[in-house]
Amino acid sequence: MNAPNSPLQDTSPASPGGWQNLVTDWSSDRHAFDVPWGKAMMWIFLLSDTFIFSCFLISYMTVRIASTVPWPNPSKVFALNIGGAEVPLILIAIMTFVLISSSGTMAMAVNFAYRRNRVRTAALMFVTAAFGATFVGMQAFEWTKLIVEEGVRPWGNPMGAPQFGSAFFMITGFHGLHVSAGVIYLLIVALRVLRGRYERSGNYQIVEIAGLYWHFVDLVWVFIFALFYLW
């Protein structure tokens, strides 16, 4: 029989195994793989949204390539009459400029958030939300023009392939819904920042999480702009 202090006996408490450590890390409700839960969940959401938008855009390209009816020319469909002249894609160009500019103001808001400057952070988030609302307003104008003046419907299109209307309203509508939700999200976070809700904890990470969502929305629009309006 070994002595109590024999080196063959391990009297120290057993250390938790690998799986137990993993469960402990995930059940702490704070960090996963050294990434805060809020940021991790936003990345998971954006990944799932990437799959959805990818399916929409791939389906659109498939339908357009397979269509036997001529596809409408985007330069003519989305042209505006300014001073008696048809200016192609002018509204879409302005919409793209507005949304890309909002990425810049959002990036500055995140920068000031980590400097604990809540006034400038909130102000830049309000500006970003205003850019987003402007984008949605211009998109509503675009929809109204196509429906009322051009007669485009989800089930038909007098200018060519009938699939044009369904593809356009589905893709731009789904993206517009994301922008609208993002505007509401930014306004709520900006108000909380302005009221000092995050001053007590000193954690402005929610601003960065909101920025991730907003940059994703802007990035998706770049693909929609390239594949739907320029192709």
Whether pLDDT at 11 is above 80: no
Strand pairing of 80-82 and 31-32? Answer: unpaired
DSSP state letter for 35: E
Contact 132, 213 (CB under 8 A): no
- For 18-46, write each residue's pLDDT tens digit: 666 656 655 655 555 567 788 889 999 99
pTM of the model: 0.83
Query: Which structure tokens are listed for 82?
Result: 């300014």
98, with CB counted inside 10 A (0-12, 13-18, 19+), is middle
Annotated domain spans of the chain: 35-229
Q: Of 29-33, 82-86, 227-231, which gets the smallest average pLDDT?
A: 29-33
Q: What is the pLDDT of residue 15?
A: 44
The fourth-level CATH superfamily of domain 35-229 is Cytochrome c oxidase, subunit III, four-helix bundle (1.20.120.80)
100 pLDDT tier (thresholds 50, 70, 90): very high
Q: What is the pLDDT of residue 37?
A: 80
Whether pLDDT at 14 is above 70: no
Polymer length of the chain: 231
- For 180-211, write each residue's pLDDT tens digit: 999 999 999 999 999 888 877 667 889 999 99
Taking the CA atoms of residue 217, residue 218, residue 219 and residue 221 in that order, the dihedral angle to the nearest 10 degrees is 90
For the chain, report the end-to-end CA distance as a whole number of angstroms: 83
Mean predicted confidence (pLDDT) in 114-137:
96
Give the residue among 71, 75, 73 at the shortest CA–CA distance from 91.
Answer: 75
Whether pLDDT at 106 is above 60: yes
- For 41-78, write each residue's pLDDT tens digit: 999 999 999 999 999 999 999 999 998 888 888 888 88
- For 152-180, write each residue's pLDDT tens digit: 888 888 888 889 999 999 999 999 999 99
Q: What is the pLDDT of residue 127?
A: 98
Q: What is the pLDDT of residue 46?
A: 96
Q: What does the buried/exposed string (b/e) look like for 167-205 if buried means 16 or more CB atoms within 10 Å of the residue's CB?
A: bbbebbeebbebbeebbebbbebbeebeeeebeeeeebe
Contact 171, 60 (CB under 8 A): yes
DSSP class per residue in 43-104: HHHHHHHHHHHHHHHHHHHHHHHH-SSPPP-HHHHT-EEETTEEETTHHHHHHHHHHHHHHH
